[in-house]
Amino acid sequence: MPDGVTDRPPPGAAELSQLAAQLSDLLKLRTLPIGMKLFREPQDLEAIQGLRRPPTGRRFSTCQLVTQARIAGFTLAITHDNVPAFSNCGGVIGLNAPSDLYLSGRKMEGVWFENLEASAAHQAQMPRVAPEYHALVVSPLRSARLDPPDVCLFYANPAQMILFINGLQWRNYRRYDFSITGESACADSWGRALRDRSVCLSIPCYAERRYGGVADDEMLMACPPADLARGIEGLIGLAKAGLRYPIMPYGPQADPAAGMEKSYAGKA
């Protein structure tokens, strides 16, 4: 079943606020689920309540922006002038086109890659949003200030993530394949999700952990609002079947029959 195709209308900002609370409760999330929205016109930002902008001359990487939203609860906007000129940030989210220097691979040669060919291949294969936008706004879903966001994001550990993916598969099964760019892994999460409006899971990279403060055990899910709602609906279904977070360990030396009996009794 294609991403975003459900038997219910896409959720608006008010419903997403409620869904964020449900998700946090079901998975015991440490930080806030957030929304992300791209804007083509500068004047459209004026309608966003409580919007913060970086001071003149101040630059943030996108992962820093995301962390301020998910931890401090800020609603923040950045434009081309607010992202580091030497980074991939603006190119990933459609605020600018990557420079010839970046696309050549010379910036990462001898840093992340042994040779220019590997570095250039990394740049060529990176998912990016077309450079058609003026600004990106990030805001906690609980604030209901993006109506609706283009994509929703949350950080979670691997156990929480697999349960959410199980939730996505609860009613209409599909197999998921996720990409791994390596360094600049934000291209696999918000970059690819914003470009394709699809469900995307990433292992945050060195830069996200160094500058964005992402914890060692955190992974990142990005998906359209309809898929967030679908995943939460599935989590509720799984919980009724006794499959919930935290996952209680049964023990590596115990006979699994008694535990499996609780889930699969009468299924033979």
Cis peptide before 11 (omega within 30 of 0): no
- Residue ranges with strand state E in 103-208: 135-140, 151-156, 200-202
Confidence band of 267 (pLDDT split at 50, 70, 90): confident
- Kindly report, residue by residue over 135-185, the tens digit of the pLDDT: 999 999 999 999 999 999 999 999 999 999 999 999 999 999 999 999 999
Strands 135-140, 75-79: pairing kind: antiparallel
Calpha distance 107→268 (Å, rounded): 58
Predicted TM-score (pTM) of the model is 0.93
- Kindly report, residue by residue over 84-142, the tens digit of the pLDDT: 877 889 999 999 998 898 899 999 999 999 999 999 999 999 999 999 999 999 999 99
The pLDDT score that the predictor gives to residue 7 is 61
The pLDDT score that the predictor gives to residue 263 is 86
Higher pLDDT, 150 or 250: 150
The percentage of residues in the chain with a pLDDT greater than 70, rounded to a whole number, is 97
Residue with tokens 């599909």: 174
Calpha distance 60→207 (Å, rounded): 12
Residue with tokens 């998700």: 23
* Tokens found for residue 154: 């949350």
Average pLDDT over residues 180-196: 97
Q: Kindly list the distances between the CA atom of residue 33 and the CA atoms of 24, 26, 66, 91, 149, in Å, as whole numbers in the listed order.
A: 8, 13, 10, 24, 12
Is the distance from CB of 151 to CB of 174 less than 8 angstroms?
no
Q: Is the pLDDT of residue 221 over 90?
A: yes
Is the distance from CB of 89 to CB of 61 less than 8 angstroms?
yes
The percentage of residues in the chain with a pLDDT greater than 90, rounded to a whole number, is 82
Phi, psi of 82 (to 5 degrees): -105, -5
Pick from 194, 216, 201, 110: which is nearest to 164 by CA?
201
Domain regions of the chain by residue span: 13-246
- Residue ranges with strand state E in 41-187: 51-52, 75-79, 135-140, 151-156
Containing 119, the helix (H) or strand (E) segment is helix 116-125
The pLDDT score that the predictor gives to residue 258 is 85
The pLDDT score that the predictor gives to residue 1 is 41
Higher pLDDT, 27 or 86: 27
Write b or e for each residue in 155-170: b if 16 or more Cβ atoms lie within 10 A of its Cβ, otherwise e.
bbbeebbebbbebbbb
Q: Is the pLDDT of residue 30 over 50?
A: yes
Confidence band of 232 (pLDDT split at 50, 70, 90): very high
Q: What is the SS3 assignment for 198?
A: coil
Q: Give residue 232's identity as a one-letter amino acid code.
A: I
Give the mean pLDDT of the chain: 94
Calpha distance 226→132 (Å, rounded): 24
∠ at Cα 230 (75, 179), nearest 5°? 75
Sign, CA torsion 125/208/134/45: positive
Q: Is the pLDDT of residue 3 over 70?
A: no
The pLDDT score that the predictor gives to residue 2 is 47
Average pLDDT over residues 226-252: 95
CB atoms within 10 A of CB 139: 27
